[in-house]
Amino acid sequence: MIERIALDRLDDVVPLFDAYRQFYQQVSDLEAGRQFLQTRLAQNESVIYVAYQSGKAVGFTQLYPTYSSARMTKNWILNDLYVIDTYRRCGIGEQLIAEACAFAKADGASFVRLSTQVENKTAQKLYRKVGFQLEAADTAFLTFKKADL
C-alpha cells in the first residue's frame, strides 16, 4: 500500500530518510532529518509517499516542485527514492514512482525529472523500465525525465 503522508505520519518516514541519506554517504542524524522533513511538509515544499507492507513503512519517495516559465506549469523533481534492502526487487520502487507520476499528472505537471549517480545501475534500470528517458549526463550524475505522464 502506498500512502501520501502528512505531518501526523512523519515518524514513519524519518528512519527511511536517514537510511537513504546514509546510502549517499551522509552521517546518520535522525533528529535533523525529522526537522528537515517536518519543515518541508509544514511549508508545503514537498510531497512524500510511503510504501507499507504489513503495516511497516518499507520505502518512500519525495518530490519537490519546480516551475517552467515557457510552459507556465509546475513540474516535479522526484528527488528521493528509497526502499529497504530486504524489500527491493518486489516492485515497491516501481509502485512509488507510479504514485508520484500519477500525483504529478493530476497536479497538471508536464514532466517529472530525477537524477541518479552514474554508478547506480539498478536505479537506472528501474527508471528506464517505468518510462524515464535519459536527458543529460555528467561525470557523477545522470538526469532522467518522464514527460508522458
Q: What are phi and psi of 111, to 5 degrees?
A: -165, 165
30 contacts 18 by C-beta, under 8 angstroms:
yes
pLDDT in tens, the chain (149 residues): 999 999 999 999 999 999 999 998 999 999 999 999 999 999 999 999 999 999 999 999 999 999 988 888 899 999 999 999 999 988 999 999 999 999 999 999 999 999 999 998 989 999 999 999 999 888 899 999 998 88
User: What is the pLDDT at residue 11?
Assistant: 96
Grid coordinates in use for 52? 507499507
Cross-strand pairs, 57:
52
The confidence score (pLDDT) of residue 107 equals 94
Q: What is the pTM of this model?
A: 0.92
Alpha carbon of residue 123 to chain centroid: 12
Which domains can be identified in the chain, with CATH numbers? 2-146 (3.40.630.30)
> Which position has the grid cell 546514509?
22
Q: So what's the pLDDT on residue 144?
A: 93
